[in-house]
Every structure is written in C-alpha cells, then in structure tokens.
C-alpha cells in the first residue's frame, strides 16, 4: 500500500519559480518565460489611513511582518495607498505625520521597532515597506484605495466616484502615474489596483468606461510591466454592465478585474440565518457568477482577482462561518486569484480611535501570532495553484470540506480528513459512478450507516457508486440497499474519520434542523491538474 502515499501531492513547490513581468492569457495570470500560471494568493495590508504609513510598524520590525506574511503561505501583498500621499503630502515625513495626528505613543513604537522610518517621507516609507516585502520574495499589488487618507468606504465619504468632493479624476490620474513610474525598476511590484470600491450617488457606467480606460492607459504608459487591475461598481461587486458592452482591449494581456465580497455585502447577512446553508450558498454563488464570475469566460475572458473578502474572526458566528465556507469553496472551484482582508492586527488610528483592533486581521493585535488558526487553515488549499493551463496531466478531483479547509486523504485502506498540503487525487467521471483513487484500482466504498468509509477493490459494487445530491450538489451520496441515500460525513470535532450517514435535508427544507445540521456533510469536488 506504499503506492498510495506516492499519490499524495505535495503542493508547497507549486508557486516557487516564475519569471517577470506577469501578463494575462485568457482567464489566467501567467509568467513571462514559460507562460505558466502564477496564482496570486495575497493578503491586504492597509497603508492608506490618515498616518499614511503601513500599519503595525509601531508593533514589529517591518522584516518580521514580511517574514510572517511569507510564513503564513501568501505569495503577495495588496498594499493600499492614498492618492494625496503622492500629490499633496509627498514631502511629509512619517514623524511629522504622526505628530500632527498626536499619535505620540505609536511614534514611540516606530522609534523602537523601525527607527529608520520616522525620518522618511511617507512615500519613501512606502518604498521601504515594498522593498522589504520584495526581499522576502513576495509580490506586491499597489492598490489606490482612496484619495484622501482615511478609513474606507462609505457612500458619502467624498472618495467614492469620479467627481466626488475628494475624487478629482485628474489628480487621481496624476497619482497613478507617479506610483507606476516609481516602481518601474521593481519588477516584483506586479500590478496596480486602479481604484478601490467605486461607489456612491455619482456612479455611472459611461463615466466608468471613460476613466477606467484613461487610468489603464496612464498606468501602462508609465510602467508597461504592470498588471492593470480594474474595479467594478457598487463597492466592487458588479460588472454586469460589461455584458452589454465589454471593455475594449486597451492593450494586450495586462488587464485583470477585481471584485470584493463580504458576508454583509448587499445586505445579505439575513440569508444565512433564514435559509439552509446550501440554499443560501447556491444563491450567493449564482449572484457572484452573474455580477463578476462571468468575466473569466468566453472570448473576452480575463483574470478575476477576489481582492477583498474576509470575516470577523473573533466570536465567529454562524453567518461568518457559512459565508466563508461558501466563498472559499467558490474560490477553490474557480481557482481564482485572491487577497484576504486583512493582514493588520490593528490600526494606529481609525475613525478617530487610537490603537483600534482589526477583528478581520490575520494577525492578532500584537502582530505576533495568527489571530484565528482555523481561518488560516481554511485558506490553505487555495493558497496553491489548483489549475494550470499548461498542464499536460489529466484532471483529478480533490474531495474538499470547505468549512474547515480540509481534504480527504487515502491512508492504506482507510480514508481520513487532513490538511490540504497533501491530498489524494480522485477520479469521478460521472454522477453515479465510482470515486477512484487515481493510479490504483481502489474506490471509495460505504460499509453501512454510521460506519467508516473505506477503500475497496470492487469499484463496480453498489457500495462504490456516488452521486452529488441535494439541489445544490454539496453532498456526496451512495444509495443503500433500501434505496436510501447515505452521505459522506465528517465531524470536525470528532476524529479524522469519514463515515457514511443518512443525508440531511436533501430537499429544500427550511426547517430549523436543516438550518443547523448538514455542515458535516458539506463536501465539494474540486477539479485540479497541477502536478
Ligand atoms: C531624524 O532626523 C533628526 C533631525 O535631522 C535627527 O536629529 C535624528 O537623529 C534623526 N533620527 C533618526 C532615527 O535617524
Ligand atoms: C452618465 O453620464 C453620462 C455622461 O456624462 C450622461 O450622459 C448620462 O446621463 C449619465 N447617466 C446617468 C444614469 O446618470
């Protein structure tokens, strides 16, 4: 049975080497030399608030923070910036900025942890942060987050759309040009997000076309190496207007779209409280497809970067857990590029509050450890390339439990749930057929209700036939001798064993039992071909 272990795929090497600059090829971001895919797996690092400095430099030396990012498995940082940092405050030093905001304690912290930063101008401080990330082998996407340095985003904050009080289009273009030029000789700065979360009462798709094209040309002219990343309307939820009128190919192979999604997006929190999870998830997934997911398909296909999503990680409730499971499942299935909100454990000052904790932060408020290891685990599979357009190998399936971010492994004749650094490759060619361990004659088989699922050599038996059931295909089921469905089930709180059990809630059923129970049966088959 040694052979089976050989089929555990070690993903950790998947993203190590690539050549720059990056460009696009249909829906993929690819490297320069072999045109192999480079998947962005980023974390957002805020640096656009009033102090105009990457957060956390009062807590830890910048190289510690960059090392932490790397060790958590990211290959890139989406670093935010504000236009006025470059167009109005370029000569302001970090010390002056903190003094004017009376952030004396934070300034003392910077003096202790990053003494070199206080005398730098805010724009040179940005460069110093970028250079440290690059030294650690991390790619950087520079995200124009706001014009005026401040927390973002509201409908009436004056930074939402071209023509708003603090959103002069020419000043914005000027800022893009300065920043694009500044990093011309830093190839690991691979892209620029043109503007974060367009929004507010002035939103208008013809104005969007006009300025997005200008912005893209400005960036490309200043620095033709960069990926140009374009945001949609309504807080970066929607690109539906592109269905009627696709964005003209402004230039070859550099255009990427970005969208955002949170549990609270478009007031949908309630959905998770009133609908069974698979109904809610199905609805949200369809909505994402309609508003943004369509961009990776068809003749105008371009990469789609899920450049913000995240959850409140403390006292995580039902809504957060289910939203995240659903969304991570979608990211895995589509194998999108992504960036989680956010790295920072807290802020120098946000909304007037000094030292505010970031409950969405991957790091805790001391910037010393991972805030929520379960959430961190949940991102493990998607940190790696799952699909590769250059791959010659056949497609396999990963049996994935998106709520926990864990994968099913074959271990001798047993199957168990473990982390996703090494997962087993399965083939399941048709609904109702076997789920076979690739490279072997072994198939997943039931041994009756409540019993462990094992591997069997009889791939044609009734016990080895599996279908995706429930209206949204989130459960993997075998029909027993009585014609009843038994579903794959894993209880994250109780061993790594996978059993077969009566399927929960196969019909659309909004009963209270259904709201709470079937998460242990939530599996997805994720297609991959990376070897
Ligand atoms: C910053 O500049 C001031 C004034 O030029 C100088 O006195 C101070 O030593 C400098 N601090 C650091 C850490 O370089
Ligand atoms: C959008 O802007 C264009 C050009 O400025 C204008 O003609 C059109 O009426 C606007 N549409 C809406 C819905 O405001």
Domain ranges of the chain: 18-383, 396-528
18-383, CATH topology level: TIM Barrel (3.20.20)
pTM for this model (two decimals): 0.94
Mutate which of 111, 119, 124 for ligand 1 pocket (most atoms within 8 A of beta carbon): 119
DSSP 269-321: HHHHHHS-HHHHHHHHHHHHHHHTGGGGSSTT---EEEEEEE---SS--HHHH
pLDDT tens per residue across span 137-193: 999 999 999 999 999 999 999 999 999 999 999 999 999 999 999 999 999 999 999
CA distances to 74, 79, 289 from 341, rounded to whole Å, are 13, 11, 21
Rounded to whole angstroms, the Cα distance separating 522 from 527 reads 16
Which atom, in ligand 1's list, is nearest to the CA of 119? 1
Intervals of the chain under pLDDT 50: 1-15
Question: Residue 499 pairs with which residues in a beta bridge?
Answer: 452, 489
- Name the CATH code of domain 396-528 (choices 2.60.40.1180, 2.80.10.50, 3.40.50.620, 2.40.50.100): 2.80.10.50
Q: Is 429 exposed, middle or buried (0-12, 13-18, 19+ CB in 10 A)?
A: exposed
Task: Quickly tell me which residue has 């271990």 as its tokens.
Answer: 411
Query: What pLDDT shows up at residue 508?
Result: 57
Secondary-structure percent of the chain, ordered helix, strand, coil, rounded to 5: 30, 25, 45
Entry field: residues in the chain: 531
At 136, list the tokens: 């650690």
Closest C-alpha to 162, from 97, 211, 229, 90: 211
pLDDT at 506: 76
Choose the catalytic residue: 132, 197, 388, 463.
Answer: 197
The tokens for 529 are: 């071909």
Residues touching ligand 1 (Cβ under 6 Å) are 115, 118-119
* Catalytic residue list contains 457: yes
CA distance 378 to 363: 15
Identify the residue whose tokens are 């970066």: 236
């Amino acid at each position: 049975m040694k052979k089976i272990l050989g089929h555990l795929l070690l993903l950790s090497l998947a993203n190590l080497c690539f050549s720059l600059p990056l460009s696009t090829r249909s829906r993929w971001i690819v490297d320069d030399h072999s045109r192999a895919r480079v998947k962005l797996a980023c974390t957002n690092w805020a640096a656009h608030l009033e102090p105009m400095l990457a957060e956390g430099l009062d807590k830890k030396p910048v190289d510690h923070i960059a090392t932490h990012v790397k060790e958590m498995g990211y290959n890139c940082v989406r670093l935010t910036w504000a236009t006025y940092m470059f167009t109005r405050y370029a000569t302001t030093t970090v010390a002056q900025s903190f003094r004017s905001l009376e952030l004396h304690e934070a300034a003392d912290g910077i003096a202790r942890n990053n003494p070199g930063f206080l005398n730098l101008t805010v724009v040179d401080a940005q460069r110093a942060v970028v250079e440290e990330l690059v030294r650690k082998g991390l790619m950087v996407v520079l995200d124009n987050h706001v014009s005026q340095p401040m927390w973002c985003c509201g409908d009436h904050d004056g930074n939402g759309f071209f023509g708003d009080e603090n959103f002069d289009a020419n000043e914005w273009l000027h800022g893009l040009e300065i920043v694009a030029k500044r990093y011309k000789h830093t190839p690991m700065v691979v892209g620029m997000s043109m503007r974060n979360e367009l929004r507010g009462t002035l939103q208008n798709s013809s104005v969007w076309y006009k300025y997005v094209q200008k912005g893209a040309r400005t960036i490309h002219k200043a620095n033709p190496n960069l990926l140009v990343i374009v945001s949609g309307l309504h807080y970066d939820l929607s690109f539906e207007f592109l269905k009627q009128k696709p964005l003209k190919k402004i230039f070859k192979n550099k255009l990427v779209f970005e969208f955002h999604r949170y549990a609270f997006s478009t007031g949908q929190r309630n959905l998770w409280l009133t609908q069974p999870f698979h109904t809610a998830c199905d609805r949200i997934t369809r909505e994402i497809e309609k508003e943004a997911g369509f961009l990776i398909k068809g003749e105008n296909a371009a990469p789609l970067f899920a450049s913000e999503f995240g959850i409140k990680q403390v006292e995580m409730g039902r809504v957060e857990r289910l939203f995240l499971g659903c969304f991570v499942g979608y990211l895995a299935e589509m194998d999108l590029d992504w960036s989680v909100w956010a790295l920072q454990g807290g802020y120098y000052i946000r909304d007037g509050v000094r030292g505010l904790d970031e409950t969405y932060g991957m790091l805790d408020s001391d910037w010393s450890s991972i805030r929520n290891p379960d959430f961190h685990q949940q991102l493990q599979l998607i940190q790696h390339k799952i699909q590769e357009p250059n791959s010659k190998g056949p497609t396999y399936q990963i049996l994935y439990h998106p709520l926990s971010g864990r994968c099913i492994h074959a271990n001798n004749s047993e199957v168990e749930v473990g982390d996703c650094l090494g997962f087993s490759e399965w083939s399941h060619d048709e609904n109702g057929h076997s789920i076979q361990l690739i490279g072997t004659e072994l198939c997943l088989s039931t041994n009756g209700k409540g019993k462990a699922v094992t591997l069997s050599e009889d791939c044609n038996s009734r016990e080895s036939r599996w279908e995706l059931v429930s209206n949204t295909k989130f459960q993997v089921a075998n029909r027993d001798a009585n014609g009843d469905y038994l579903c794959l089930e894993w209880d994250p709180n109780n061993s790594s064993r996978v059993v077969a059990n009566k399927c929960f809630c196969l019909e659309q059923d909004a009963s209270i039992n259904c709201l709470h129970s079937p998460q242990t049966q939530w599996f997805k088959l994720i297609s991959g071909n990376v070897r």
